[in-house]
Amino acid sequence: MRRHNLCLRCGLKRCVYAFMFILSNLAILLSISTLNKFYPEITNFSQSNLGCNQNNYESLENTPNKILGTIIEKLVEEIENLHDKSKSSRKDQLQLKNEMLKQASFLTEILSLTSSLRNHLKPPFGNDNASSRYSLSKNNKPYDEILDYFQIEEIRKYVRVKPNRLGKQNFMGANGTSTSIGHACFSMKQELEEYMDYDVGDICKDDWKLAQKLMVHGCDPLPRRRCFSVAPKLYAKPYPINESIWKLPDDQNVRWSQYRCKNFTCLARNSTGKGFFKCTDCFNLTHHELPRWIEPSYGDPNSNLTSDFLIQDILGLKPGEIRIGLDFSVGTGTFAARMREYSITIISATINLGAPFNEMIALRGLVPLYLTVNQRLPFFDNTLDIIHTTRFLDGWIDIVLLDFVLYDWDRVLRPGGLLWIDSFFCLKEDLHDYLEVFDMLRYKKHKWIVVPKIDKDGNEVYFSAVLEKPSRPF
């Protein structure tokens, strides 16, 4: 009988020791899988040195959350077994029973710590795959802290990672979608929350001016909204394309509530100075816009100096090669209208500074692109034949910002494409710094001229150039 109890005791001790050995192996596997999150090269070590456990785990995905889940299940199962054995033990085995209870307590503590670790690794929105692969922050802030920064629920819903419903990569090679907002949105929290405070499925507020303010100050791109945009109350049919190019549009087709002028005639008259000061005559299609880039304009009647180049002369530099391009300016689309006469498609990028420039461009039958200087151009590399700019990038712009802009333009221009700098003006004392930035592109100079700006007492100058992007085979 004593021998039987001794064997039973030894057998149970062997079980406890064996279980502790298995637990140590699981702890090692947990450590390796956690380190593998940060050091992928450890994967090879775990596969070569843990061959005894490979069959048990080869069906698991190599993610900490999956392995932790399996460990927790095994710990719970073993704790229940130990409790069952302690209940069925005899009184003369009291010492062994106490050891088993201590072992169960130890396992419970390990289970608690493992669960805490799993909760720490778990994404805040319940999708294990999205937590480590998609993050809106590159710093040490937890993902949920960034979301909690905004109080409006629509913002929080928008910036959350959207995992694919099928649980696998989509045709673009992504497991989910990370919708983006401009970094300056965090410094304009009040304005952004006002912009995103709406009822889903209802009509949006007429707050395009607030949206443009956010964009201009760096909250660009703006988050999408789930409400219907406000439209003019009585939208009239646009004029036919052969009429709309050089005719003022119908006033009914614009929302005028955020403008000082309430119709196109007011803007075209320019008697009150309302609108954008750099483009006060842009809506005068007959007298101001019609001759642009067709006839030269001389600031000084007594001089033949002009910063204007004619479209026909520029197209003659590359006969038949200019087909598509971008006009990054503030205007009503006249450059695109003139290029259209040569069967060239130009997209006009501008914002609505004091007047409905985007609406005007569209109503003329041209393509507007609502874009600030803060954004990277939405074109692929080496695709455009020409980029033209006027009345926008002038002496106000920071040298480093201009550098970033020009390199982005270089990115989208194809080899042999033309960069047309049209009447860039700045202070005389700043001219050398700006010319160095343009020189740094190492483009071929087809045209390059500096003329005085006579309305500023000789303190400012105009600079115009037509530059060709070189081929870069290496």
Span 176-224, pLDDT tens digits: 887 888 888 989 999 999 999 999 999 999 999 999 999 999 999 999 9
In a 3-state reduction of DSSP, which class is residue 3? helix
Give kind and range of the element (H or E) at residue 331: none
- Amino acid making up residue 454: I
Name the token pair of 365. Answer: 């039958």
List Cβ neighbours of 131 (8 Å cut-off, separation of 6 or more): 121, 122, 123, 124, 143
> 465 or 50: whose pLDDT is higher?
465
- Amino acid making up residue 441: L
> What confidence score (pLDDT) does residue 56 get?
43
Rounded to a whole number, what is the largest CA-CA distance in the chain?
128
> What confidence score (pLDDT) does residue 159 get?
83
> What confidence score (pLDDT) does residue 277 get?
58
Indicate the DSSP class of residue 122: S
- Amino acid making up residue 109: E
Q: Average pLDDT for residues 282-303, to the nearest whole number?
A: 84
Contact by Cβ (8 Å): 71, 22: no
Rounded to two decimals, the pTM is 0.69
- 264 pLDDT higher than 80: yes
Contact by Cβ (8 Å): 379, 346: no
Indicate the DSSP class of residue 168: S
Name the token pair of 363. Answer: 């109503």
Three-state secondary structure readout of 221-266: CCCCCCCECCCCCCCCCCCCHHHHCCCCCCHHHCCCCCCCCCCHHH
Q: Rounded CA gap, 191 and 204, in Å?
A: 15
> What confidence score (pLDDT) does residue 434 get?
93
Q: What is the pLDDT of residues 378-419, one digit of tens each?
A: 999 999 999 999 988 888 899 999 999 999 999 999 999 999
Q: What is the pLDDT of residues 302-340, one digit of tens each?
A: 677 888 999 999 999 999 999 999 999 989 999 999 999
Q: What is the pLDDT of residues 94-129, one digit of tens each?
A: 666 666 666 666 666 666 566 555 555 544 434 444
Name all domains of the chain by residue range, CATH numbers in brackets: 143-217 (no CATH), 241-469 (3.40.50.150)
Q: What is the pLDDT of residues 123-174, one digit of tens each?
A: 443 444 444 444 434 444 545 566 778 888 888 888 888 788 877 778 878 8
Give kind and range of the element (H or E) at residue 163: strand 162-163
In a 3-state reduction of DSSP, which class is residue 465? strand
Q: Average pLDDT for residues 38-64, to the nearest whole number?
A: 43
Residue 86 vs residues 14, 21, 100: alpha-carbon distances, Å: 16, 20, 7
Name the token pair of 333. Answer: 């689309």
Q: What is the pLDDT of residues 5-30, one digit of tens each?
A: 444 455 555 666 666 666 666 666 66
Least Cα distance to 182 among 171, 169, 195 occurs for 195
Check whether the bond before 291 is cis (ω within 30° of 0): no
Q: What is the pLDDT of residues 453-469, one digit of tens each?
A: 887 677 889 999 999 99
